[in-house]
Amino acid sequence: MLSSYLAELKKIKMLDKDTELQLWHRCAQGDSAAHNLLMRSYQPLVFKTALGFHLSGAQTLELVQEGTIGLLEAAERYDVSKGVAFSIFAIHRVRGRMVDYLQKEYGDKTLSLNRELGESGDAWEDFLVAPGYSIDEQAERHLLSDKVLAAMERLPAKEKTVLTAIYIDDKRPVDIAETIHVTTAHVYRLQKQGVRRIRGMLSRFMAELKK
């Protein structure tokens, strides 16, 4: 099963930016063929996200199925006119679907999303919310993801680049450092500054949710 899925993934060609933009505009007009092509082109994103949990082949395929549902849900809400890349917009809903499924079927012990990332000690769950806040409710998680997306857009350029690379693209700090021409230690500083800044932006929203 997994080998068959991988074989299909190899047939998928990445869309260039202009082609994807045209497809999203066609999709907004109700073009089902454009929608199907877009969803197929983003299957590698779903698979890469599922691999990040380091589970068995069978469980990974289960996550792919859940993540694909999240991908479809994200496509329904996506507004191409806002200028946010669909991959950034969709990843939170895709991951959220997978986390919800694993918590329901297997319990928290199977999750690897809460592991610490690098030397900074910040995990993805910590990045989303302040310590002690529950994100068990799926609706709240999706709402938080939207707020995080908006907050990320307001970050200084380098902090946004680092957080996107670490938490969304799953890149190593050492590779990020080479890409943006800084030291690895500076990457960790930018990560912490960005996380702290986003928590500050979300603090009022989080307080309202707790009421």
How does 47-60 read in b/e, with b if 16+ C-beta sit within 10 Å?
Answer: bebbebbebeeebb
Shared domain check, 108 and 13: yes
Shared domain check, 96 and 2: yes
Sign of CA dihedral 119, 160, 172, 67: positive
In a domain, 122, yes or no: no
Shared domain check, 96 and 31: yes
Shared domain check, 77 and 20: yes
In a domain, 20, yes or no: yes
Residue type, 81: S
The DSSP code for 16 is: P
Which stretches of the chain are assigned E, i.e. beta strand?
Answer: none
The token pair that represents 186 in the structure block = 């500076």
Q: Measure the CA dihedral 147/97/36/56, to 10°.
A: 140
pLDDT digits (tens, 9 = 90+) for 9-52: 888 888 888 999 999 999 999 999 999 999 999 999 999 888 88
Range of the domain at 105: 1-114
pLDDT digits (tens, 9 = 90+) for 94-151: 988 888 888 787 654 444 443 333 333 334 444 343 334 333 444 445 555 667 777 8
CATH number, domain with residue 23: 1.10.1740.10
The token pair that represents 84 in the structure block = 């946010």
The predicted structure's pLDDT at residue 42: 93
In a domain, 205, yes or no: yes
Domain tally, the chain = 2
The DSSP code for 164 is: I
The token pair that represents 196 in the structure block = 């702290």
Rounded to two decimals, what is the model's pTM? Answer: 0.55
Shared domain check, 105 and 46: yes
Sign of CA dihedral 83, 193, 121, 132: negative
